[in-house]
């Protein structure tokens, strides 16, 4: 698909969404008890409450997991309502981070949530609104800001990225067409809707496709299995950590036709186990909040390497990947030709496909030698008794420049691990610190919680 074609299709899809042109859309369920008509009614309520000030759009912070409310906020924003703010978490700490920013005026939250005085609370329900919603018109152009996402909760330093209408709605529409998501689909997600991946696949894409979304965000294996089977779900949206947790669980009598994985590289054994146990292909999506999606692969279809989306241009040279994409946030610096250097090392394969080698910042120099932390992690994961491993480098004021730290999830000892690594890694690559835990800390979006991991090592050093 050409970028110009995607641009036109996105404008049309937004117009159809705002005017409820999809057949029977008004009474069709979207999430929980909320219909598409309810979504429009709540969008009108948001527009009424959050009027422009001095001809400028305001800001509406999202502190709820309710996908119907988030969908309504998106519809309102498309109609000229406030720009949405999605935090990296909906904790009280994240709320206080927003409280110091004067731009964030309104907050939509759950009824029992206590907010700082400076915020204007906004509770949104379809109750009391017209059963025949008035069609809306697009109020902002495709290049205008639709929402802002705070990321970096896993590192302890949140970063904000702006996403335009075309960034979000365009990427969601691309996936709707690519994966044939339709009104017959039912989506279950294990990733929260304020995360870019959860937002795209469990709110925006279903909204554009007329599909239904399960309102529960599952996290535990039995919870995921029961929800998928009880709701007759057809699409599972999950992350590598949850596919690993599902290793010994099957979805007996399920109706799944496809599963998605993102927020990290899915382990080959975990993918194979899930696919063979449930006869369901897993589509792995590669990208980030700031870049949007970049590429995907489906090992069940024999795809070893990642293929870029056909609306994205790529340039690969010397393990570097540059992309030109309609999904990139405006804050990202690009060269004169509009290309952005992705912070991952890749290997060019046949055609325009590529293999991911690891992050460029995962290569450090120790005692004058280049050490690939991702490779150290891969070697650790090959040891019996180790379920997962995270390898980090800590800068130290000594000649080595860095100490390697390995947090291992399993039932072995640091001594066992050191013996296993002997002869498998050069001496400079051996972790100086090894800590074994029952479970590596994860964020709610399924990523390693690097801030929590660092705290574990600091506590032990103390």
Instruction: Tell me the mean pLDDT in the region 346-367.
Output: 83
Instruction: Tell me the mean pLDDT in the region 383-399.
Output: 80
Per DSSP, the three-state class of 294 is strand
The reported pLDDT for the residue numbered 154 is: 41
Here the contacts of 118-126 (C-beta below 8 Å, separation 24 or greater) are 119/61, 122/46, 122/49, 122/50, 122/60, 124/42, 124/45, 124/46, 124/69, 124/72, 124/73, 125/42, 126/34, 126/35, 126/37, 126/38, 126/41, 126/42
The reported pLDDT for the residue numbered 210 is: 92
Listed range (90-94, 407-411, 419-423) with the worst mean pLDDT = 90-94
Instruction: Tell me the mean pLDDT in the region 430-435.
Output: 90
The reported pLDDT for the residue numbered 99 is: 64
The reported pLDDT for the residue numbered 291 is: 93
Listed range (225-234, 263-272, 354-363) with the worst mean pLDDT = 354-363
In the numeric block, which tokens belong to residue 270? 């975990």
Cα separation, 123 vs 457, in Å, equals: 42
Q: Which of 267-271, 361-365, 367-371 has maximum average pLDDT?
A: 267-271
Convert the pLDDT of each residue in 261-318 to its tens digit.
998 888 898 999 999 999 999 999 999 999 999 999 999 999 999 999 999 999 998 8
Distances in Å between the alpha carbon of 375 and those of 30, 304, 393? 44, 18, 13
The reported pLDDT for the residue numbered 278 is: 93
Per DSSP, the three-state class of 64 is coil
Distances in Å between the alpha carbon of 173 and those of 107, 166, 326, 380, 441? 27, 10, 12, 40, 33
Listed range (44-48, 144-148, 309-313) with the worst mean pLDDT = 44-48
Convert the pLDDT of each residue in 153-206 to its tens digit.
444 456 889 999 999 999 999 999 999 999 999 999 999 998 899 999 999 999
């Amino acid at each position: 698909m050409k970028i110009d074609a995607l641009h036109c299709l996105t404008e049309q899809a937004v117009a159809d969404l705002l005017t409820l042109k999809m057949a029977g859309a008004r009474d069709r369920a979207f999430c929980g008890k909320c219909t598409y008509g309810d979504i429009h009614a709540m969008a009108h309520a948001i527009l009424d409450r959050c009027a422009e000030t001095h001809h400028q759009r305001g800001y509406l912070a999202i502190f709820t997991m309710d996908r119907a409310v988030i969908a309504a906020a998106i519809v309102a924003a498309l109609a000229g309502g406030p720009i949405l703010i999605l935090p990296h978490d909906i904790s009280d700490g994240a709320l206080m981070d927003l409280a110091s920013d004067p731009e964030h005026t309104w907050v939509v939250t759950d009824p029992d949530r206590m907010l700082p005085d400076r915020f204007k609370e906004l509770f949104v329900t379809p109750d009391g609104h017209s059963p025949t919603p008035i069609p809306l018109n697009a109020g902002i152009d495709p290049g205008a800001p639709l929402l802002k996402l705070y990321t970096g909760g896993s590192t302890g330093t949140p970063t904000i990225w702006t996403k335009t209408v075309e960034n979000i709605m365009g990427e969601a529409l691309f996936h709707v067409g690519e994966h044939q998501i339709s009104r017959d689909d039912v989506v279950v997600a294990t990733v929260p809707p304020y995360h870019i991946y959860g937002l795209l696949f469990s709110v925006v894409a279903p909204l554009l496709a007329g599909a239904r979304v399960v309102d529960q965000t599952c996290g535990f294996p039995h919870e995921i299995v029961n929800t998928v089977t009880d709701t007759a779900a057809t699409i599972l949206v999950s992350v590598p950590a949850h596919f690993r947790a599902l290793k010994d669980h099957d979805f007996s009598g399920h109706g799944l036709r496809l599963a998605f994985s993102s927020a990290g590289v899915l382990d080959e054994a975990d993918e194979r186990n899930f696919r063979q146990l449930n006869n369901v292909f897993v589509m792995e999506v590669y990208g980030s909040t700031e870049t949007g999606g970049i590429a995907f692969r489906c090992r069940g279809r024999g795809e070893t390497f990642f293929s870029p989306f056909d609306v994205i241009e790529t340039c690969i040279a010397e393990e570097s990947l540059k992309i030109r994409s309609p999904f990139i946030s405006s804050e990202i610096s690009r060269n004169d030709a509009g290309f952005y250097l992705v912070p991952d090392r890749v290997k060019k394969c046949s055609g325009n496909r590529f293999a991911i080698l690891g992050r460029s910042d995962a290569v450090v120099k120790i005692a004058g030698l280049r050490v690939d932390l991702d490779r150290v992690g891969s070697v650790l994961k090959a040891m019996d008794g180790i379920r997962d491993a995270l390898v980090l480098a800590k800068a130290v004021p000594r000649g080595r420049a860095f100490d390697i730290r390995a947090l291992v999830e399993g039932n072995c000892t640091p001594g066992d691990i050191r013996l296993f690594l002997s002869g498998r890694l050069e001496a400079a690559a051996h972790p100086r610190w090894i800590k074994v835990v029952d479970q590596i800390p994860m964020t709610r979006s399924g990523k390693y919680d690097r801030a929590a991991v660092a705290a574990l090592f600091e506590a032990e050093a103390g």
